[in-house]
């Protein structure tokens, strides 16, 4: 089954550019769905994540120190932004570029033990592969100073050759 999505600009600041994923047929991006999740809506931890994302884009950049690195496979860009038990999974491509996925409450020792978090991570890993292929082929380009993406930002999972 193919699942179509696009990469959507959320915020471009002095220190970096924040994108999220929006699946075809859905009105909200993955970041918007994460921020509206009823399980932790109104939580101080969720508020901290939202503020931190904004501060990173505006002032600090998406530096490794803010994330749990190597959350996925050795060669992927998967990272987690964590606050308390809340995890937001992202693709950190450069210090100036972050593509935000979705996340949830960590209730198990590893994300692999939680079907919802594991599905989020697996989907992001597939998206990371698609982005990597387009970067290599030149169909997508990253401005290394600003983090802005140009090129073909519409995808279908299942496009991986």
**Where exactly are the structural domains of the chain?**
3-157
Number of neighbouring beta carbons within 10 Å of residue 113 = 11
pLDDT single digits (tens) 54-113: 999 999 999 999 998 876 666 779 999 999 889 999 999 999 999 999 998 776 666 666
Structure tokens given for 45: 């931890």
Confidence of residue 39 (pLDDT cuts 50, 70, 90): confident
Q: Give residue-wise pLDDT tens across range 14-34.
A: 999 999 999 999 999 999 999
DSSP secondary structure string, the chain?
A: --EEEEEEEEEE-SS-EEEEEEETT-SS-HHHHHHT-TTTTT-HHHHHHHHHHHHIIIII---GGGSB--SS-TTS-EEEEEETTEEEEEEEEETTEEEEEEEEE--SSSGGGSHHHHHHHHHHHHHHHHHHHHHHHTSEEE-TTT--EEE--EEEET---
Alpha-carbon distance 90 to 102, whole Å? 8
Percentage of the chain beyond pLDDT 70 is: 89
Q: What is the pLDDT of residue 85?
A: 87
pTM, two decimals, is 0.90
CA–CA separation, 131 and 140 (whole Å)? 8
Question: How far apart (Å, rounded) are the C-alpha atoms in residues 7 and 15?
Answer: 19
């Amino acid at each position: 089954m193919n699942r179509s999505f696009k990469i959507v600009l959320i915020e471009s600041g002095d220190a970096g550019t924040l994108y999220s994923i929006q699946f075809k047929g859905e009105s909200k991006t993955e970041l918007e769905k994460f921020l509206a999740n009823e399980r932790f809506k109104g939580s101080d931890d969720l508020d901290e994540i939202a503020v931190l994302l904004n501060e990173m884009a505006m002032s600090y950049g998406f530096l490794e120190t803010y994330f749990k690195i190597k959350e996925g496979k050795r060669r992927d860009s998967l990272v987690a932004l964590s606050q308390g038990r809340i995890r937001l999974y992202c693709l950190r491509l450069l210090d100036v570029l972050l593509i935000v996925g979705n996340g949830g409450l960590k209730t198990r020792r590893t994300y692999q033990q939680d079907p919802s978090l594991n599905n989020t991570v697996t989907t992001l890993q597939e998206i990371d592969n698609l982005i990597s292929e387009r970067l290599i082929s030149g169909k997508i380009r990253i401005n290394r100073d600003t983090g802005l993406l140009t090129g073909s930002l519409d995808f279908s999972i299942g496009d991986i050759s």
